[in-house]
Structure 1
Amino acid sequence: MTAETEMEPNALQNLIASARVVLWDFDGPICRLFARHSAERVARELVEWLEGRGLHGLLTEKERESLDPHVVLRAVDRRHPGSDLVAELEERLTKEELRAAGSAMPTAWADPLIRTWTAVGSRLAITTNNSPRVVRSYLDSRGLTACFTPHIYGRTQELHHLKPDPHCINRALSAMGAAPGSALMIGDTPSDLQAASAASVPFLGYARNERKGKLLRDAGATAIVGSLEPVLRLVRASG
């Protein structure tokens, strides 16, 4: 093993060699969406917006203090599924994500890895809890849209389908006519791992720091890289 990987080099090579379809989570493996636009601030503003409408009691104390906008969104949807309130809250989050996309920080080695994987004949898709509008905005800015089009599967109004539900992964596999065993999911959270496992898709964890790595290990991930550079080297060698 190396400092960049938490698996034997041959295991990583085998994982990559068997992947005909690569399913990418967006925020983490491709970029840090909220690198310069605080997700914690967005979550607080969503909570404050709810409180301004007299809906303070809609969230538990833990949910109010989670500092994760998706936690706030899902909590409201559980109590008022399919409501105008949920639709308005989701649109507010999408607008904040779009603002964040303009200053998102590209993940090291992600751009060349995406282009190289496409060049050697693999098919790529995005499977994310972020808005597909946000994903397209970011990919357009990096000249990467063609590597994924039309396979961008993001948040819909049916919020119960957010990962760890495997819905977006299953949508991608169905649209691409791919068997789960021929795919590889790259994600950076336990919910990505859980969604991939539920869809029977092999999983490669990306952990940019030890905290992320521990969360993935504790969730049961056995294939983790701390950098996409060794993945890029292997994909280049396979071409």
Structure 2
Amino acid sequence: MTSQTGSETDGLRDLITRARVVLWDFDGPICRLFAGHSAERVASDLVDWLGQRGLSGLLKEQERQTDDPQEILRAVNRRHPGSDLVAEIEERLTKEELRAAPSAMPTPYADPLIRTWTALGSRLAITTNNSPRVVHAYLTGRGLFSCFAPHIYGRTADLHQLKPDPHCLNRALSAMGAAPPAALMIGDAPTDLEAAKTAGVPFLGYARNEDKEKRLRKAGAVNVVGSLKPILEALRIRP
């Protein structure tokens, strides 16, 4: 990870100071959902499941090789939008996400950051492409659900509304009565950045490794941190 310049530090402090509402992506900034339950294996199992039903042809070769199970879901939905097949794959993915939740690895400093932001009076929401059921399960297990409830906006049956579409961000802003410039989104993927831009919400990238940072920078992210620690420190010294 590259170190932050003085101007980047000032930009980070400004983002934090102005944020009255914080929209969190889930898998990445809050935890590594598939840390103990391989996402690659889940994706492979979904590909195999389609193959057993004679439906391998629905996927391109690159899609069959993906390690992201959500890409399988998106691919099938592009070819058969709103079908029973898509609904079944989505339910299978949700069950795998729920199976992964107990072994998910908390992102360092995420828990105290969430509690500190809440204690300071900021309102928090989850805006994710994961199932809201897994978010509920994970946050409850960590004792963090009250920091977000009821503002958890995740994957719905309308898969075209997944990020980079800003639908979940707009739902959160509307429900919380927040103007986009007064909010902040924390995400770890270019799709999070694109959704935030479209919604008019300032964006802070979280990149746990150099590859993640490169992708965010290439997509146009200006403020990117490799740890949540400087955010927590900035909050604790905020006037």
In structure 1, stretches of 5+ residues that fail to align are none
Question: Conserved in 2, the CA contact under 8 Å of 1:6 and 1:223?
Answer: no
Matched positions, count? 238
Per mean C-alpha deviation after superposition, the further-off stretch among 123-132 and 73-82 is 73-82
Please name the residue that 1:56 is paired with.
Answer: 56
Please name the residue that 1:151 is paired with.
Answer: 151
Q: Offset at 1:3?
A: 2.9
> Structure 1 residues 110, 47: CA separation in 2 closer, same or farther (over 3 Å shift)?
same
Please name the residue that 1:119 is paired with.
Answer: 119
Distance in 1 of aligned mates of 2:50 and 2:5? 43
Deviations 1:78-136 (A, max 9, x none): 11111110010000000000011010000000000000000000000000000000000
> Structure 1 residues 89, 5: CA separation in 2 closer, same or farther (over 3 Å shift)?
farther
Please name the residue that 2:70 is paired with.
Answer: 70
Q: Offset at 1:6?
A: 9.1
Matched residue of 2:29: which SS? coil
Distance in 1 of aligned mates of 2:103 and 2:66? 23
TM-score, normalization by structure 1? 0.97
> Structure 1 residues 37, 114: CA separation in 2 closer, same or farther (over 3 Å shift)?
same
Distance in 2 of aligned mates of 1:80 and 1:6? 49
Which residue identity is paired with 1:129? N
Q: Offset at 1:238?
A: 2.0
Which residue identity is paired with 2:114? I
> Structure 1 residues 146, 5: CA separation in 2 closer, same or farther (over 3 Å shift)?
farther
RMSD (Å), alpha carbons: 1.3
> Structure 1 residues 5, 134: CA separation in 2 closer, same or farther (over 3 Å shift)?
farther
Matched residue of 1:37: which SS? coil
Q: Offset at 1:7?
A: 5.6
Please name the residue that 2:139 is paired with.
Answer: 139
Percent same amino acid at aligned positions?
Answer: 72
Q: Offset at 1:235?
A: 1.1
Please name the residue that 1:218 is paired with.
Answer: 218
Structure-to-structure mapping, 1:135-214, within 5 angstroms: 135-214=135-214
Which residue identity is paired with 2:140? D
> Structure 1 residues 67, 5: CA separation in 2 closer, same or farther (over 3 Å shift)?
farther
Matched residue of 2:237: which SS? helix
Please name the residue that 1:13 is paired with.
Answer: 13
Matched residue of 1:45: which SS? helix
Say yes or no: does 1:80 pair with 2:61: no
Deviations 1:198-234 (A, max 9, x none): 1010000000110100010011100000000000011
Distance in 1 of aligned mates of 2:74 and 2:85? 12
Q: Hey, which bits of structure 1, 4+ residues long, moved more than 6 A?
A: none
Please name the residue that 1:94 is paired with.
Answer: 94
> Structure 1 residues 176, 5: CA separation in 2 closer, same or farther (over 3 Å shift)?
farther
In structure 2, stretches of 5+ residues that fail to align are none
Which residue identity is paired with 2:129? N
